[in-house]
Amino acid sequence: MSSEDLERLRLLDVVMNRGIHALSRDELERLHSLLEQKDYSNDTKAQKSKAKLLKKISIAIYDYDVKYGNSFKTS
């Protein structure tokens, strides 16, 4: 396993155990990036879960920006 795989699994574990709002904005962005890179095209169920989670992460980033006034932050 690569270090990116381990980081992705660690962040997913936090989301599963404590919820998506337990992550910082930077961690949310990192998880979003890591999930986008991961290819689940051979497993349609996993691909659907990935799409749902990416949507939730995007919403959480938006909510974070609205709450803390960082709207339209670019990385």
Give residue 55's pLDDT: 97
Give residue 69's pLDDT: 75
Kindly state the average pLDDT of the residues 1-25.
94
Give the whole-angstrom CA distance, residue 28 versus residue 70.
Answer: 14
**If pLDDT is split at 50, 70 and 90, which confidence band does 9 have?**
very high
Question: What is the greatest pairwise CA distance in the chain?
Answer: 40
Helix axes 25-37, 3-18, angle to 10 degrees: 120
Q: Is 75 inside any structural domain? A: no
Q: Is 17 inside any structural domain? A: yes
- State the total domains in the chain: 1
CA 10, 73, 63, 47 torsion-angle sign: negative
Query: The domain containing residue 31 runs over which residues?
Result: 3-68
pLDDT in tens, 38-65: 998 899 999 999 999 999 999 999 998 8
Q: Is 73 inside any structural domain? A: no
One-letter identity of residue 68? Y
Q: Is 74 inside any structural domain? A: no
> Minimal CA–CA distance to 28: which of 41, 15, 16, 37?
15
